[in-house]
């Protein structure tokens, strides 16, 4: 997998600045005051920093912005990276500053003179996250990976605070890699194998094959994958760090490719449907993060992995399928397949693990993009408490989330003439009727959230902490939710 930059924290050594290779970064607050490291560089480079701070260009920089002074005289480094940041930045300002450093590092060694600035661990996280580059399938010489060293006043203290951040970055990278992979690489076999490999981290991982799913009665999940040559699977990942407590459950949609089935999607943009397993990717990334940081909580992550293809054995519009729960579903649209996968996995999670609460994630509907664009995931819930806690955690991590309405009138849209329900509710309120479909497979006493991440899992333009493509949205928010709510 793609690995985050290896970041070291060392004592401040001002005498080493003259001979540091690559690039050197310093932080200067809006007041223009130069701290010890910046003063040393200013002296070495014939007052270049003082002259820059006095310019209109520095004055116009926003907090977290960066300006490169290239080929400064008096030092060996190729550039001084000036980041406008005060001594006590906010979390988001610190992460933005780190991300700006990553964008201009370009494979060079990077020495960051941080001194006693607050939230260096958050700066390092922003640098690590924005440094992601999915180049697995590019041939030719790979770009060099430069080392990153932070000079800080108390390196042992900062390194201890940064350790769980490194686990978060690795979890996010794992999610991004999975979501970015093409479907001929990330087959149902390969996806399950990558998750099984996390047993090395201490996760208990179980793979349920098609024979197991048939015995369990997961007919709605199997109906989605029956047109593909790739067998459907369910993977159960269990992190048991909280003693005998009932687990918190995460459930993910893992459609490795979605043609739409017989209700085939238009050709334009269908190549993007490699990301339709984004919900399962987030669940996997969270589980990796929990294992790496040895979380003191019991969490079970369950993903349904299928491929929705067109063939003579594919499910047809008009078919009626019985779920593991026992309800019958009239398939109106085979492109509404994610909810069919989740229906059985949600029921299985509750039936087997009796979770204290449950959140599912899915790139479920185009309708959520119409409602919220690429800025927020849609949050649907039967619990004010759980939804508020998640939205608070997402806000703290800078991951957009917005609660959407639910109500009996939307549920009525799912009425079927010949079965217990239809799998779609019509054109209007499409994301809401999809949430109501899922809620029918959630027991009334189980606090539950459905996160529709179709607009945030993968984007065409870079975001604050990620290049274009898979974002890893949700790993940080769910990790924080678990840390704040379910750990001792």
Q: Active-site positions?
A: 265, 339
Residue in the block written with tokens 């400064």: 72
CA distance 303 to 247: 16
Q: DSSP states of 350-377 as a string?
A: HHHH--SEEEEEE---THHHHHHTTT-E
User: For residue 447, what are the contacts with CB-CB under 8 A and spacing of at least 6?
Assistant: 356, 357, 358, 381, 382, 383, 385, 386
- The neighbour count for residue 160, using CB atoms within 10 Å, is 12
CA distance 209 to 197: 17
Which DSSP state fits 273?
Answer: G
Residue 321's φ and ψ, nearest 5 degrees, are -125, 140
Question: How far from the centroid of its chain's Cα atoms is residue 47's Cα?
Answer: 43
Would you state the structure tokens that stand for residue 166, as one six-digit string?
A: 């490194």
Give 282's Cβ-side CA count (13 Å radius).
31
Sheet architecture: strand order including 7-11: 7-11, 148-152, 110-115, 23-28, 79-84, 66-70
Q: Which of 11, 10, 69 is nearest to 41 (CA)?
A: 69
Range list of β-strands (E), 123-269: 148-152, 204-208, 233-240, 248-258
Helix, strand, coil % in the chain, rounded to nearest 5: 40, 20, 40
8 A C-beta contact, residue 431 and residue 452: yes
């Amino acid at each position: 997998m793609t690995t985050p930059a290896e970041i070291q924290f060392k004592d401040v050594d001002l005498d080493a600045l003259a001979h540091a290779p690559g690039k050197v970064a310093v932080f200067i607050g809006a007041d223009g005051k130069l701290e010890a490291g910046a003063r040393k560089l200013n002296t070495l480079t014939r007052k270049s920093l003082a002259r820059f701070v006095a310019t209109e260009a520095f004055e116009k920089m926003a907090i977290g912005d960066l300006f490169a002074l290239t080929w400064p005289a008096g030092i060996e480094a190729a550039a001084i990276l000036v980041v406008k940041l005060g001594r006590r930045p906010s979390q988001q300002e610190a992460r933005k500053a780190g991300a700006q450093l990553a964008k201009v590092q370009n494979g060079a060694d990077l020495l960051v003179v941080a001194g006693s600035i607050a939230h260096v661990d958050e700066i390092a996280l922003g640098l690590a996250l924005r440094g992601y580059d999915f180049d697995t399938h590019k041939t030719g010489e790979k770009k060099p990976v430069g080392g990153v060293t932070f000079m800080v006043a108390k390196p042992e203290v900062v390194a201890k605070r940064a350790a769980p951040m490194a686990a978060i970055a690795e979890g996010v990278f794992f999610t991004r890699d999975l979501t970015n992979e093409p479907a001929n690489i990330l087959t149902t076999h390969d996806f399950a194998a990558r998750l099984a490999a996390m047993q090395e981290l201490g996760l208990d991982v179980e793979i349920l094959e098609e024979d197991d799913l048939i015995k369990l009665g997961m007919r709605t999940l199997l109906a989605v994958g029956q047109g593909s040559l790739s067998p459907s699977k369910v993977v159960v990942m269990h992190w048991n760090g909280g003693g005998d407590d009932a687990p918190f459950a995460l459930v993910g949609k893992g459609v490795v490719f979605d043609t739409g089935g017989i209700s085939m999607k238009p050709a334009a943009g269908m190549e993007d449907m490699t990301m339709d397993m984004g919900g399962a990717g987030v669940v996997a990334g969270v589980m990796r993060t929990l294992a790496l940081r040895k979380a003191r909580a019991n969490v079970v992550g369950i993903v349904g992995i299928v491929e929705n293809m067109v063939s003579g054995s594919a499910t047809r519009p008009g078919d009626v399928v019985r779920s593991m729960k026992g309800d019958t579903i009239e398939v109106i649209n085979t492109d509404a397949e994610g909810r069919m996968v989740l229906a059985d996995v949600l029921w299985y999670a509750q039936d087997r693990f009796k979770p204290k609460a449950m959140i599912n994630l899915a790139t479920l509907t185009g309708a959520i993009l119409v409602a919220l664009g690429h800025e927020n995931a849609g949050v649907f819930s039967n619990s004010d408490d759980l939804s508020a806690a998640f939205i608070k955690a997402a806000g703290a991590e800078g991951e957009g989330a917005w609660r959407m309405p639910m109500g009996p009138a939307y549920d009525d849209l799912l009425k079927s003439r010949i079965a217990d329900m239809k799998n779609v509710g019509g054109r209007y309120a499409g994301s809401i009727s999809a949430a109501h479909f899922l809620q029918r497979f959630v027991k009334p006493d189980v606090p539950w959230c459905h996160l529709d991440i179709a607009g945030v899992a993968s984007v065409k333009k870079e975001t604050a902490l990620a290049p274009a493509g898979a974002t890893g949205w949700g790993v940080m928010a769910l990790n924080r939710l678990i840390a704040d709510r379910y750990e001792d």
